[in-house]
Amino acid sequence: MTAAAFERTYVYRTRNRMRLRVPRRTHCHFLRDGGCGIHPAKPTQCRIFPFWPELVDSPRAWARTARYCPGIGKGPLIQIKSVQAQAEEMRQEHPKLYA
């Protein structure tokens, strides 16, 4: 698939940024039963999820996300310093979202 075709299918533009479209019946076009279908090419927002600043900073938002995120509460515990570093990476990658 070409970059242009990918963008037409999976991306929409706002005034200042490009965002992935959210499908109607799921939370991601690329989430498969076995996990991420595009794991080697994940964009930052996907690679860092669920450690986005708005989720890390809000217990309520974290609990709401845990209802559909297959990784929250599973596997080894992640140290809070690592989580905070990933949230900071997201802030650095997308400063207009977190200004």
* DSSP classification of residue 45: H
Q: Which two tokens stand for residue 55?
A: 């989720």
Is the pLDDT score of 24 beyond 80? yes
Query: Can you read off the two tokens belonging to residue 74?
Result: 């599973």
- The pLDDT assigned to 55 comes to 92
Residue 47's pLDDT is: 82
78-91 pLDDT tens trace = 898 999 998 998 88
Three-class DSSP category at 35:
strand
Strands 18-20 and 31-32: unpaired
pLDDT at 62: 93
**Each residue of 46-98: pLDDT tens digit?**
888 899 999 999 999 999 999 888 788 888 888 989 999 989 988 888 887 78
